[in-house]
Chains A and B, each alone.
Chain A
Amino acid sequence: MSEPIVPKTEVASRPAENYFGAVMAVAWKDLAAELRSRELLSAMLIFSLLVILIFNFALQLDRGTRESVTAGVLWATFAFAGTLGLNRSMAIEKDRGCLDGLLLAPVDRSAIYFGKALSNLAFMLIVEAIVLPVYFILYNPKNFFNPGFLGVILLGSIGYVAVGTLLSTMAVQARTRDVLLPILLFPLVIPVLVSAVQASMGFLSEWPLEEIIPWLNLLLVYDVIFITAAFLFFDYVVEE
Protein backbone atom coordinates (compact mmCIF):
# COMPACT_ATOMS: atom_id res chain seq x y z
CA MET A 1 0.00 0.00 0.00
CA SER A 2 1.66 3.21 -1.05
CA GLU A 3 0.57 6.56 0.20
CA PRO A 4 -1.05 8.89 -2.30
CA ILE A 5 1.58 10.96 -4.03
CA VAL A 6 0.91 14.63 -4.29
CA PRO A 7 1.53 15.74 -7.86
CA LYS A 8 4.70 17.79 -8.07
CA THR A 9 3.19 20.61 -10.05
CA GLU A 10 0.65 21.31 -7.37
CA VAL A 11 3.30 21.59 -4.67
CA ALA A 12 5.42 23.84 -6.81
CA SER A 13 2.57 26.17 -7.63
CA ARG A 14 1.53 26.78 -4.05
CA PRO A 15 4.27 29.17 -2.93
CA ALA A 16 3.51 31.45 -5.85
CA GLU A 17 -0.14 31.66 -4.86
CA ASN A 18 0.90 32.08 -1.26
CA TYR A 19 3.32 34.82 -2.17
CA PHE A 20 0.72 37.06 -3.75
CA GLY A 21 -1.74 36.12 -1.03
CA ALA A 22 0.81 37.03 1.63
CA VAL A 23 1.49 40.41 0.04
CA MET A 24 -2.20 41.19 -0.06
CA ALA A 25 -2.71 39.89 3.49
CA VAL A 26 -0.02 42.19 4.90
CA ALA A 27 -1.35 45.17 2.96
CA TRP A 28 -4.95 44.37 3.91
CA LYS A 29 -4.06 44.02 7.60
CA ASP A 30 -2.62 47.57 7.56
CA LEU A 31 -5.56 49.02 5.70
CA ALA A 32 -8.09 47.31 7.97
CA ALA A 33 -6.27 48.49 11.11
CA GLU A 34 -6.11 51.99 9.70
CA LEU A 35 -9.77 51.94 8.76
CA ARG A 36 -10.60 51.33 12.42
CA SER A 37 -8.18 53.69 14.10
CA ARG A 38 -7.61 56.36 11.41
CA GLU A 39 -4.54 57.51 13.38
CA LEU A 40 -2.11 57.55 10.52
CA LEU A 41 -4.24 59.03 7.77
CA SER A 42 -5.63 61.84 9.87
CA ALA A 43 -2.15 62.77 11.11
CA MET A 44 -0.71 62.74 7.57
CA LEU A 45 -3.63 64.69 6.22
CA ILE A 46 -3.65 67.45 8.82
CA PHE A 47 0.12 67.67 8.58
CA SER A 48 0.01 68.13 4.80
CA LEU A 49 -2.64 70.82 5.04
CA LEU A 50 -0.48 72.59 7.62
CA VAL A 51 2.53 72.39 5.31
CA ILE A 52 0.52 74.00 2.52
CA LEU A 53 -0.62 76.67 4.98
CA ILE A 54 3.01 77.36 5.93
CA PHE A 55 4.04 77.55 2.28
CA ASN A 56 1.21 79.97 1.66
CA PHE A 57 2.70 82.48 4.07
CA ALA A 58 6.37 81.59 3.54
CA LEU A 59 6.22 82.03 -0.24
CA GLN A 60 3.37 84.54 -0.47
CA LEU A 61 1.52 82.32 -2.91
CA ASP A 62 -0.04 85.01 -5.05
CA ARG A 63 -1.06 84.41 -8.63
CA GLY A 64 2.35 85.05 -10.20
CA THR A 65 4.43 82.98 -7.79
CA ARG A 66 1.94 80.14 -7.72
CA GLU A 67 2.36 79.15 -11.33
CA SER A 68 6.08 78.50 -10.93
CA VAL A 69 6.05 76.87 -7.49
CA THR A 70 2.89 74.74 -7.43
CA ALA A 71 4.74 71.52 -8.36
CA GLY A 72 7.46 72.20 -5.80
CA VAL A 73 5.01 73.01 -3.00
CA LEU A 74 3.00 69.86 -3.65
CA TRP A 75 6.00 67.53 -3.78
CA ALA A 76 7.57 69.05 -0.68
CA THR A 77 4.23 68.50 1.09
CA PHE A 78 4.02 64.88 -0.04
CA ALA A 79 7.62 64.21 0.94
CA PHE A 80 7.17 65.59 4.46
CA ALA A 81 3.81 63.93 5.05
CA GLY A 82 5.24 60.70 3.61
CA THR A 83 7.96 60.39 6.26
CA LEU A 84 5.33 60.80 8.94
CA GLY A 85 3.34 57.87 7.54
CA LEU A 86 6.32 55.63 6.82
CA ASN A 87 7.75 56.09 10.30
CA ARG A 88 4.48 55.44 12.05
CA SER A 89 3.47 52.44 9.97
CA MET A 90 6.74 50.65 10.80
CA ALA A 91 6.89 51.85 14.39
CA ILE A 92 3.52 50.22 15.06
CA GLU A 93 4.85 46.90 13.80
CA LYS A 94 7.95 47.17 15.95
CA ASP A 95 6.35 48.36 19.18
CA ARG A 96 3.62 45.79 19.38
CA GLY A 97 5.97 42.99 18.34
CA CYS A 98 4.03 42.49 15.12
CA LEU A 99 7.20 42.53 13.05
CA ASP A 100 8.53 39.42 14.80
CA GLY A 101 5.20 37.74 14.21
CA LEU A 102 5.26 38.61 10.55
CA LEU A 103 8.82 37.35 10.22
CA LEU A 104 7.79 34.00 11.69
CA ALA A 105 5.20 33.51 8.96
CA PRO A 106 6.27 30.85 6.46
CA VAL A 107 6.41 33.17 3.46
CA ASP A 108 9.25 34.79 1.60
CA ARG A 109 10.29 37.90 3.50
CA SER A 110 10.08 40.08 0.46
CA ALA A 111 6.31 39.44 0.54
CA ILE A 112 6.25 41.37 3.83
CA TYR A 113 8.16 44.19 2.18
CA PHE A 114 5.79 44.38 -0.76
CA GLY A 115 2.77 44.22 1.54
CA LYS A 116 4.06 47.08 3.67
CA ALA A 117 5.06 49.06 0.59
CA LEU A 118 1.61 48.55 -0.90
CA SER A 119 -0.19 49.79 2.20
CA ASN A 120 2.21 52.74 2.53
CA LEU A 121 1.54 53.60 -1.10
CA ALA A 122 -2.20 53.38 -0.47
CA PHE A 123 -1.94 55.79 2.48
CA MET A 124 0.12 58.19 0.45
CA LEU A 125 -2.27 58.12 -2.50
CA ILE A 126 -5.26 58.69 -0.22
CA VAL A 127 -3.58 61.72 1.33
CA GLU A 128 -2.68 63.01 -2.14
CA ALA A 129 -6.22 62.42 -3.35
CA ILE A 130 -7.48 64.72 -0.60
CA VAL A 131 -4.69 67.31 -0.72
CA LEU A 132 -4.93 67.87 -4.49
CA PRO A 133 -8.60 68.95 -4.55
CA VAL A 134 -8.00 71.17 -1.50
CA TYR A 135 -5.06 72.80 -3.26
CA PHE A 136 -7.22 73.19 -6.36
CA ILE A 137 -10.01 74.90 -4.43
CA LEU A 138 -7.60 77.20 -2.62
CA TYR A 139 -5.55 78.32 -5.62
CA ASN A 140 -7.36 77.28 -8.79
CA PRO A 141 -4.28 76.30 -10.79
CA LYS A 142 -4.54 75.58 -14.51
CA ASN A 143 -4.32 72.10 -16.10
CA PHE A 144 -4.55 70.53 -12.68
CA PHE A 145 -6.47 67.34 -13.30
CA ASN A 146 -4.85 66.04 -16.44
CA PRO A 147 -3.86 62.35 -16.66
CA GLY A 148 -0.17 63.15 -17.21
CA PHE A 149 0.11 65.08 -13.96
CA LEU A 150 -1.74 62.37 -12.02
CA GLY A 151 0.53 59.75 -13.62
CA VAL A 152 3.61 61.64 -12.44
CA ILE A 153 2.19 61.71 -8.93
CA LEU A 154 1.66 57.94 -9.04
CA LEU A 155 5.17 57.24 -10.38
CA GLY A 156 6.80 59.60 -7.91
CA SER A 157 4.89 58.12 -4.97
CA ILE A 158 5.90 54.59 -5.99
CA GLY A 159 9.60 55.52 -6.03
CA TYR A 160 9.33 57.39 -2.74
CA VAL A 161 7.52 54.54 -0.99
CA ALA A 162 9.82 51.84 -2.44
CA VAL A 163 12.90 53.38 -0.77
CA GLY A 164 10.99 54.72 2.19
CA THR A 165 9.58 51.37 3.27
CA LEU A 166 13.03 49.75 3.20
CA LEU A 167 14.66 52.62 5.09
CA SER A 168 11.89 52.90 7.67
CA THR A 169 12.40 49.22 8.46
CA MET A 170 16.02 50.05 9.28
CA ALA A 171 15.21 53.30 11.07
CA VAL A 172 12.70 51.80 13.54
CA GLN A 173 15.35 49.34 14.71
CA ALA A 174 17.74 52.13 15.65
CA ARG A 175 17.88 53.98 18.96
CA THR A 176 17.43 57.37 17.26
CA ARG A 177 14.54 56.24 15.11
CA ASP A 178 12.31 59.30 15.32
CA VAL A 179 14.85 61.57 13.73
CA LEU A 180 16.61 59.03 11.57
CA LEU A 181 14.15 58.33 8.75
CA PRO A 182 14.12 61.74 7.02
CA ILE A 183 17.90 61.96 7.27
CA LEU A 184 18.32 58.55 5.66
CA LEU A 185 15.54 59.00 3.13
CA PHE A 186 15.83 62.52 1.70
CA PRO A 187 19.35 62.29 0.20
CA LEU A 188 18.36 59.06 -1.54
CA VAL A 189 15.05 60.31 -2.99
CA ILE A 190 16.47 63.52 -4.47
CA PRO A 191 16.25 62.05 -8.00
CA VAL A 192 12.55 61.29 -7.47
CA LEU A 193 11.85 64.77 -6.19
CA VAL A 194 13.86 66.51 -8.93
CA SER A 195 12.28 64.57 -11.77
CA ALA A 196 8.76 64.53 -10.28
CA VAL A 197 8.83 68.28 -9.73
CA GLN A 198 10.11 68.90 -13.26
CA ALA A 199 7.61 66.53 -14.88
CA SER A 200 4.72 67.93 -12.83
CA MET A 201 5.74 71.45 -13.77
CA GLY A 202 5.92 70.33 -17.38
CA PHE A 203 2.36 69.03 -17.38
CA LEU A 204 1.00 72.00 -15.40
CA SER A 205 2.54 74.60 -17.69
CA GLU A 206 1.97 72.63 -20.90
CA TRP A 207 5.55 72.05 -21.98
CA PRO A 208 5.97 70.12 -25.23
CA LEU A 209 5.95 66.40 -24.50
CA GLU A 210 9.55 65.76 -25.61
CA GLU A 211 10.76 68.01 -22.77
CA ILE A 212 8.80 66.00 -20.20
CA ILE A 213 9.70 62.52 -21.48
CA PRO A 214 13.29 62.47 -20.06
CA TRP A 215 11.94 63.17 -16.56
CA LEU A 216 9.30 60.46 -16.89
CA ASN A 217 11.96 58.00 -18.04
CA LEU A 218 14.12 58.91 -15.07
CA LEU A 219 11.20 58.34 -12.69
CA LEU A 220 10.49 54.95 -14.25
CA VAL A 221 14.14 53.90 -14.11
CA TYR A 222 14.39 54.98 -10.48
CA ASP A 223 11.22 53.06 -9.56
CA VAL A 224 12.40 49.86 -11.23
CA ILE A 225 15.93 50.05 -9.82
CA PHE A 226 14.87 50.76 -6.26
CA ILE A 227 12.05 48.23 -6.15
CA THR A 228 14.59 45.63 -7.29
CA ALA A 229 17.16 46.83 -4.76
CA ALA A 230 14.63 46.74 -1.93
CA PHE A 231 13.57 43.26 -2.99
CA LEU A 232 17.20 42.12 -2.80
CA PHE A 233 18.12 43.89 0.44
CA PHE A 234 15.00 43.48 2.58
CA ASP A 235 16.19 40.12 3.91
CA TYR A 236 19.33 41.74 5.34
CA VAL A 237 17.31 44.44 7.04
CA VAL A 238 14.97 42.16 8.99
CA GLU A 239 17.39 39.32 9.73
CA GLU A 240 17.80 38.60 13.46
Chain B
Amino acid sequence: MSPQPRALVALNVISLILLGAAYYASLVYAPLEAVMGQVQRLFYFHVATAWVGMIGFVLAAVAGVIYLWKKDLKWDAVSLAAVEISLIFFFIAIVLGSIWARPIWGTWWTWEPRLTTAAILQMIYMAYLLLRQGIEDPEKRARFGAVYTLLGGISVPITFISIRIFRTIHPVVIGTGSAEAQGGFNMTPLMLQTMFFSIFVFSVIFVTIFWHRMRMASLENRVEQLKLKVLQ
Protein backbone atom coordinates (compact mmCIF):
# COMPACT_ATOMS: atom_id res chain seq x y z
CA MET B 1 0.00 0.00 0.00
CA SER B 2 1.33 3.41 -0.92
CA PRO B 3 1.78 5.70 2.10
CA GLN B 4 -0.64 8.57 2.63
CA PRO B 5 0.26 11.59 0.54
CA ARG B 6 1.74 14.55 2.42
CA ALA B 7 -1.30 16.72 1.89
CA LEU B 8 -3.53 14.07 3.47
CA VAL B 9 -1.26 13.73 6.50
CA ALA B 10 -1.34 17.50 6.88
CA LEU B 11 -5.13 17.45 6.54
CA ASN B 12 -5.36 14.80 9.29
CA VAL B 13 -3.44 17.04 11.68
CA ILE B 14 -5.34 20.17 10.67
CA SER B 15 -8.69 18.41 11.13
CA LEU B 16 -7.72 17.30 14.61
CA ILE B 17 -6.56 20.78 15.62
CA LEU B 18 -9.65 22.39 14.14
CA LEU B 19 -11.92 19.94 15.94
CA GLY B 20 -10.25 20.91 19.23
CA ALA B 21 -10.71 24.57 18.37
CA ALA B 22 -14.38 23.98 17.53
CA TYR B 23 -14.86 22.36 20.95
CA TYR B 24 -13.23 25.37 22.58
CA ALA B 25 -15.30 27.82 20.52
CA SER B 26 -18.63 26.20 21.28
CA LEU B 27 -17.99 25.32 24.93
CA VAL B 28 -16.00 28.38 26.08
CA TYR B 29 -15.80 31.14 23.48
CA ALA B 30 -19.51 31.39 22.64
CA PRO B 31 -21.55 33.22 25.27
CA LEU B 32 -24.09 31.40 27.43
CA GLU B 33 -27.58 31.59 26.01
CA ALA B 34 -29.83 33.32 28.55
CA VAL B 35 -32.97 31.16 28.39
CA MET B 36 -31.78 27.68 27.45
CA GLY B 37 -28.43 27.67 29.24
CA GLN B 38 -25.61 25.21 28.59
CA VAL B 39 -27.63 22.78 26.46
CA GLN B 40 -27.81 25.42 23.73
CA ARG B 41 -24.09 24.84 23.09
CA LEU B 42 -25.03 21.61 21.30
CA PHE B 43 -26.50 23.81 18.59
CA TYR B 44 -23.12 24.59 16.99
CA PHE B 45 -22.22 20.96 16.36
CA HIS B 46 -25.82 20.09 15.51
CA VAL B 47 -25.97 22.64 12.69
CA ALA B 48 -22.47 21.80 11.46
CA THR B 49 -22.99 18.03 11.32
CA ALA B 50 -26.42 18.42 9.70
CA TRP B 51 -24.85 20.74 7.13
CA VAL B 52 -22.13 18.27 6.27
CA GLY B 53 -24.69 15.49 6.08
CA MET B 54 -26.80 17.44 3.61
CA ILE B 55 -23.78 18.34 1.48
CA GLY B 56 -22.86 14.67 1.32
CA PHE B 57 -26.31 13.64 0.12
CA VAL B 58 -26.32 16.33 -2.55
CA LEU B 59 -22.84 15.25 -3.60
CA ALA B 60 -24.02 11.63 -3.82
CA ALA B 61 -26.90 12.56 -6.14
CA VAL B 62 -24.66 14.74 -8.31
CA ALA B 63 -22.07 11.96 -8.56
CA GLY B 64 -24.94 9.62 -9.49
CA VAL B 65 -25.91 11.83 -12.41
CA ILE B 66 -22.31 12.06 -13.57
CA TYR B 67 -21.95 8.28 -13.31
CA LEU B 68 -25.01 7.64 -15.49
CA TRP B 69 -23.60 10.10 -17.99
CA LYS B 70 -19.90 9.09 -18.07
CA LYS B 71 -20.13 5.45 -16.92
CA ASP B 72 -16.92 5.80 -14.94
CA LEU B 73 -16.89 3.68 -11.76
CA LYS B 74 -14.85 6.38 -10.02
CA TRP B 75 -18.04 8.44 -9.68
CA ASP B 76 -19.82 5.50 -8.13
CA ALA B 77 -17.10 5.37 -5.48
CA VAL B 78 -17.65 9.10 -4.86
CA SER B 79 -21.37 8.52 -4.45
CA LEU B 80 -20.91 5.63 -2.03
CA ALA B 81 -18.29 7.46 0.05
CA ALA B 82 -20.51 10.55 0.30
CA VAL B 83 -23.53 8.51 1.40
CA GLU B 84 -21.61 6.54 4.03
CA ILE B 85 -20.05 9.62 5.60
CA SER B 86 -23.29 11.59 5.45
CA LEU B 87 -25.22 8.82 7.18
CA ILE B 88 -22.89 9.05 10.17
CA PHE B 89 -22.87 12.85 10.34
CA PHE B 90 -26.61 13.07 9.89
CA PHE B 91 -27.07 10.52 12.64
CA ILE B 92 -24.87 12.62 14.95
CA ALA B 93 -26.98 15.68 14.08
CA ILE B 94 -30.21 13.83 14.93
CA VAL B 95 -28.81 12.55 18.24
CA LEU B 96 -27.52 16.00 19.25
CA GLY B 97 -30.88 17.49 18.27
CA SER B 98 -32.68 14.93 20.43
CA ILE B 99 -30.52 15.69 23.44
CA TRP B 100 -31.26 19.38 22.97
CA ALA B 101 -34.98 18.81 22.41
CA ARG B 102 -35.45 16.83 25.64
CA PRO B 103 -35.17 19.87 27.99
CA ILE B 104 -36.38 22.48 25.47
CA TRP B 105 -39.35 20.77 23.81
CA GLY B 106 -39.85 18.31 26.65
CA THR B 107 -39.51 15.30 24.35
CA TRP B 108 -36.73 13.37 22.61
CA TRP B 109 -38.63 13.19 19.39
CA THR B 110 -41.58 14.79 17.69
CA TRP B 111 -43.12 14.13 14.27
CA GLU B 112 -42.21 17.47 12.86
CA PRO B 113 -41.27 18.11 9.18
CA ARG B 114 -37.54 18.45 9.59
CA LEU B 115 -37.17 15.60 12.05
CA THR B 116 -39.40 13.31 10.06
CA THR B 117 -37.69 14.15 6.79
CA ALA B 118 -34.30 13.59 8.42
CA ALA B 119 -35.42 10.16 9.60
CA ILE B 120 -36.80 9.25 6.17
CA LEU B 121 -33.61 10.48 4.53
CA GLN B 122 -31.65 8.12 6.78
CA MET B 123 -33.96 5.25 5.76
CA ILE B 124 -33.55 6.02 2.07
CA TYR B 125 -29.78 5.92 2.26
CA MET B 126 -29.76 2.80 4.40
CA ALA B 127 -31.97 1.21 1.75
CA TYR B 128 -29.38 2.41 -0.79
CA LEU B 129 -26.65 0.50 1.06
CA LEU B 130 -28.84 -2.62 1.27
CA LEU B 131 -29.57 -2.42 -2.46
CA ARG B 132 -25.85 -2.25 -3.22
CA GLN B 133 -25.17 -5.21 -0.97
CA GLY B 134 -27.56 -7.38 -2.97
CA ILE B 135 -25.88 -6.87 -6.34
CA GLU B 136 -22.57 -8.44 -7.27
CA ASP B 137 -21.83 -6.97 -10.69
CA PRO B 138 -20.03 -3.65 -9.95
CA GLU B 139 -21.32 -1.96 -13.07
CA LYS B 140 -24.94 -2.87 -12.39
CA ARG B 141 -24.51 -1.97 -8.71
CA ALA B 142 -23.29 1.46 -9.70
CA ARG B 143 -26.18 2.02 -12.12
CA PHE B 144 -28.87 0.97 -9.64
CA GLY B 145 -27.21 2.98 -6.89
CA ALA B 146 -27.14 6.09 -9.06
CA VAL B 147 -30.81 5.71 -10.02
CA TYR B 148 -31.80 5.19 -6.39
CA THR B 149 -29.87 8.22 -5.09
CA LEU B 150 -31.58 10.31 -7.77
CA LEU B 151 -35.05 9.02 -6.87
CA GLY B 152 -34.23 9.73 -3.23
CA GLY B 153 -33.03 13.21 -4.11
CA ILE B 154 -36.33 13.90 -5.89
CA SER B 155 -38.54 12.45 -3.20
CA VAL B 156 -36.96 14.03 -0.11
CA PRO B 157 -38.04 17.62 -0.91
CA ILE B 158 -41.58 16.41 -1.69
CA THR B 159 -41.61 14.51 1.61
CA PHE B 160 -40.52 17.68 3.38
CA ILE B 161 -43.27 19.74 1.76
CA SER B 162 -45.89 17.10 2.45
CA ILE B 163 -45.09 17.07 6.15
CA ARG B 164 -44.62 20.83 6.23
CA ILE B 165 -48.29 21.26 5.35
CA PHE B 166 -48.79 20.09 8.93
CA ARG B 167 -47.39 22.67 11.31
CA THR B 168 -43.81 22.92 12.50
CA ILE B 169 -42.25 23.64 15.88
CA HIS B 170 -38.62 23.42 14.77
CA PRO B 171 -36.96 26.79 15.33
CA VAL B 172 -35.68 28.58 12.26
CA VAL B 173 -32.66 30.51 13.50
CA ILE B 174 -31.71 31.97 10.14
CA GLY B 175 -34.54 33.57 8.19
CA THR B 176 -38.12 33.76 9.38
CA GLY B 177 -39.60 30.95 11.40
CA SER B 178 -43.19 29.98 12.03
CA ALA B 179 -45.11 31.40 14.98
CA GLU B 180 -45.35 28.02 16.71
CA ALA B 181 -41.58 27.45 16.73
CA GLN B 182 -40.22 26.81 20.22
CA GLY B 183 -36.63 27.20 21.37
CA GLY B 184 -35.59 29.78 18.81
CA PHE B 185 -33.18 32.53 19.84
CA ASN B 186 -31.39 35.54 18.45
CA MET B 187 -27.71 34.99 17.91
CA THR B 188 -25.09 37.42 19.15
CA PRO B 189 -22.09 38.02 16.82
CA LEU B 190 -19.96 35.66 18.94
CA MET B 191 -22.52 32.89 18.54
CA LEU B 192 -22.70 33.53 14.82
CA GLN B 193 -18.93 33.31 14.54
CA THR B 194 -18.92 30.05 16.46
CA MET B 195 -21.60 28.59 14.23
CA PHE B 196 -19.83 29.45 11.00
CA PHE B 197 -16.53 28.26 12.44
CA SER B 198 -18.09 24.89 13.35
CA ILE B 199 -19.56 24.55 9.88
CA PHE B 200 -16.13 25.28 8.41
CA VAL B 201 -14.44 22.78 10.73
CA PHE B 202 -16.84 19.99 9.91
CA SER B 203 -16.52 20.71 6.21
CA VAL B 204 -12.76 20.22 6.52
CA ILE B 205 -13.31 17.00 8.49
CA PHE B 206 -15.66 15.81 5.77
CA VAL B 207 -13.00 16.40 3.12
CA THR B 208 -10.43 14.49 5.20
CA ILE B 209 -12.67 11.48 5.79
CA PHE B 210 -13.82 11.57 2.18
CA TRP B 211 -10.24 11.41 0.98
CA HIS B 212 -9.53 8.41 3.24
CA ARG B 213 -12.69 6.69 2.02
CA MET B 214 -11.70 7.19 -1.63
CA ARG B 215 -8.29 5.68 -0.95
CA MET B 216 -10.03 2.75 0.67
CA ALA B 217 -12.26 2.36 -2.40
CA SER B 218 -9.26 2.12 -4.69
CA LEU B 219 -7.69 -0.45 -2.33
CA GLU B 220 -10.89 -2.50 -2.40
CA ASN B 221 -10.77 -2.32 -6.13
CA ARG B 222 -7.20 -3.62 -6.17
CA VAL B 223 -8.05 -6.48 -3.82
CA GLU B 224 -10.87 -7.48 -6.14
CA GLN B 225 -8.58 -7.45 -9.15
CA LEU B 226 -5.90 -9.47 -7.34
CA LYS B 227 -8.53 -12.02 -6.35
CA LEU B 228 -9.58 -12.37 -9.97
CA LYS B 229 -5.94 -12.79 -11.00
CA VAL B 230 -5.44 -15.61 -8.46
CA LEU B 231 -8.58 -17.37 -9.66
CA GLN B 232 -7.45 -17.32 -13.28
A interface, CB within 8 angstroms of B: 163, 166-167, 170-171, 173-177, 180, 183-184, 186-188, 190-191, 194-195, 198, 214-215, 218, 221-222, 225-226, 229, 233, 236-237, 239
When the two chains form their complex, are residues A225 and B154 in contact, meaning their CB atoms are under 8 A apart? yes
Choose from B123, B143, B148, B158 the contact partner of A225 (Cβ within 8 Å): B158
Cα of A239 to Cα of B159 in the assembled complex, Å: 30
| Residues of chain B at interface, number, CB under 8 A | 28
Give the docked Cα–Cα distance between A231 and B134 (Å): 24
CB–CB B162/A183 < 8 A: no
Give every chain A residue within 8 A of B152 (Cβ-Cβ). 187-188
- 8 A Cβ contacts from B111-141 to A: 120, 123-124, 127, 130-131, 133-136, 140
User: 7 closest A-B pairs (Cβ-Cβ)?
Assistant: A174-B134, A176-B134, A187-B123, A191-B162, A191-B158, A187-B124, A175-B134
Check A180–B148 contact: CB distance below 8 A.
no
Given contacts A190-B159, A236-B146, A236-B147, 18 further A-B contacts (CB under 8 A): A170-B147, A173-B135, A173-B140, A174-B131, A176-B133, A180-B130, A180-B131, A187-B152, A190-B120, A191-B158, A195-B162, A218-B158, A221-B158, A226-B155, A229-B154, A233-B147, A233-B150, A236-B143
Name the residue in A167, A174, A187, A237 with the highest tally of chain B Cβ atoms < 10 Å from its Cβ.
A187
Q: Is the CB of B130 within 8 A of A183?
A: yes
Question: Using Cβ atoms and an 8 Å threshold, which residues of chain B touch A177?
Answer: 134
Q: Smallest CB-CB separation from A237: which chain B residue?
A: B147
Whether the pair A214, B165 counts as a contact (CB closer than 8 A) is yes
A44 to B150 Cα, complex, angstroms: 30
List the A residue with the shortest CB-CB distance to B137.
Answer: A173
B162 engages A218 (CB within 8 Å): yes
Task: Report the tally of A-B residue pairs with Cβ distances under 8 A.
Answer: 84
**B-side contacts of A236, CB under 8 Å:** 68, 143, 146-147
| B161 within 8 A of partner (CB) | yes
Q: Which of B154-169 contact A (CB under 8 A)?
A: 154-155, 158-159, 161-163, 165
User: Across the interface, do A170 and B144 meet the contact criterion of CB distance under 8 Å?
Assistant: yes
**Which residues of A lie under 8 Å from residue B148 when comparing CB positions?**
170, 184
| A200, B107: Cα distance in complex, Å | 30
One of A170, A191, A214, A222 near B131 (C-beta < 8 A): A170
Residues of A within 8 A of B127 (CB): 183-184, 187
User: Given A183-B127, A187-B127, A229-B150, are A237 and B162 neighbors across the interface (CB < 8 Å)?
Assistant: no
Q: Are A233 and B155 in contact (CB under 8 A)?
A: no
CB neighbours (8 Å) of A163 from chain B are: 151
Task: Judge whether B151 and A233 touch: CB under 8 Å.
Answer: yes
Q: List 30 A-B contacts (CB under 8 A).
A: A167-B151, A170-B131, A170-B148, A171-B131, A173-B140, A174-B131, A174-B134, A174-B135, A174-B144, A176-B130, A177-B134, A184-B148, A187-B123, A187-B152, A187-B155, A190-B155, A191-B158, A194-B162, A194-B163, A198-B165, A214-B165, A218-B162, A218-B165, A221-B158, A225-B158, A233-B147, A233-B150, A236-B68, A236-B143, A239-B143
